[in-house]
């Protein structure tokens, strides 16, 4: 039997941490305003040491393999959800760590980047997940404005569609995602964490998010 891939390790850890919630009968309201039958809560991972460690190990190994040698000089975490994963990545790769706020602090030194000077350094941005890429582009913009070279982004989970991926590519960024929704759904189905009816709802939402949300809104 072959060893599980980093994506499969991550999917199982997400399930073990209770980070994948499927609830078609009580859908989640997304920031976009749409209702969705599922929700990925990567923040749940940090409460579970074993799952947290498995994901951190997989993420560090994947990045070390993809970007060998001195491709990275500093690891940066986006505030707030990306900071724990960036910290674990920096520890495993024995690299300096900084964190980036969405906006400069409104008092003190007014800093947007904390931890050290990134000017002239090759920086890897770490986030928990990507959906629209908006926050990632904001963090990258701040790092580049501070003089850093940022060409790579590492995330635990991606459910980005074509538009966000194009936005990253247009910004000169390569995305390294440990796990995608297809892998997570397969793991959840195999583990008996989601039944066929709920899986059908998830697939229906992915095929037509606005239509699924509109129908569910009308039912409430």
Residues 14-30 have a mean pLDDT of 94
Q: Which pLDDT belongs to residue 105?
A: 78
**39 CB-contact burial (10 Å; exposed 0-12 / middle 13-18 / buried 19+):** middle
In the block, residue with structure tokens 């190994």: 61
Cα dihedral: 207, 211, 215, 216 (round 10): 60
State the pTM of this model. 0.92
Question: In terms of CATH architecture, what is 6-213?
Answer: 3-Layer(aba) Sandwich (3.40)
CA 181, 77, 45, 213 torsion-angle sign: negative
Mean pLDDT (the chain) is 93
Q: Which pLDDT belongs to residue 1?
A: 59
39 Rama sector, left if φ>0, alpha if ψ -120 to 50, beta otherwise: beta
The region of weakest confidence among 95-109, 153-167, 190-204 is: 95-109
Residues 34-49 have a mean pLDDT of 94
Phi–psi pair at 190, nearest 5 degrees: -65, -35
Residues 158-170 have a mean pLDDT of 94
Task: Report whether 179 contacts 85 (CB < 8 A).
Answer: no
Cα dihedral: 78, 141, 123, 110 (round 10): -60
**Higher-pLDDT residue of 97, 70:** 97
Q: How do the domains of the chain map onto residue ranges?
A: 6-213
Q: For residue range 87-125, what is the model confidence (pLDDT) as tens digits?
A: 999 999 999 999 999 998 777 667 999 999 999 999 999
Highest mean pLDDT among 81-90, 157-166, 187-196, 210-219: 81-90
Is residue 133 pLDDT above 70, yes or no? yes
Query: How confident is residue 78, by pLDDT bands cut at 50, 70 and 90?
Result: very high
Is residue 220 pLDDT above 70, yes or no? no
CA–CA distance, 206 with 10 (Å, rounded to integer): 21
């Amino acid at each position: 039997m072959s060893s599980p891939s980093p994506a499969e390790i991550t999917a199982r850890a997400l399930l073990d941490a209770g980070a994948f919630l499927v609830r078609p009968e009580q859908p989640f309201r997304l920031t976009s305003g749409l209702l969705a039958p599922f929700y990925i809560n990567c923040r749940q991972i940090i409460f579970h040491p074993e799952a947290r460690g498995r994901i951190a190990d997989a993420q560090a190994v994947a990045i070390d393999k993809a970007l060998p040698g001195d491709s990275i000089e500093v690891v940066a975490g986006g505030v707030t959800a990306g900071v724990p994963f960036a910290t674990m990545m920096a520890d495993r790769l024995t690299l300096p760590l900084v964190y980036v706020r969405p906006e400069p602090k409104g008092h003190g030194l007014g800093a947007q980047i904390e931890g050290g000077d990134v000017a002239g350094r090759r920086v890897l941005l770490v986030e928990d997940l990507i959906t629209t890429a908006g926050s990632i582009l904001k963090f990258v913009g701040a790092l580049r404005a501070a003089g850093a070279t940022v060409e790579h982004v590492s995330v635990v989970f991606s459910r980005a569609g074509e538009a966000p991926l194009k936005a990253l590519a247009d910004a000169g960024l390569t995305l390294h995602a440990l796990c995608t929704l297809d892998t997570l759904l397969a793991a959840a189905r195999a583990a008996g964490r989601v039944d066929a009816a709920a899986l059908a709802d998830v697939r229906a939402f992915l095929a037509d998010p606005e239509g699924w949300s509109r129908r569910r809104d009308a039912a409430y």
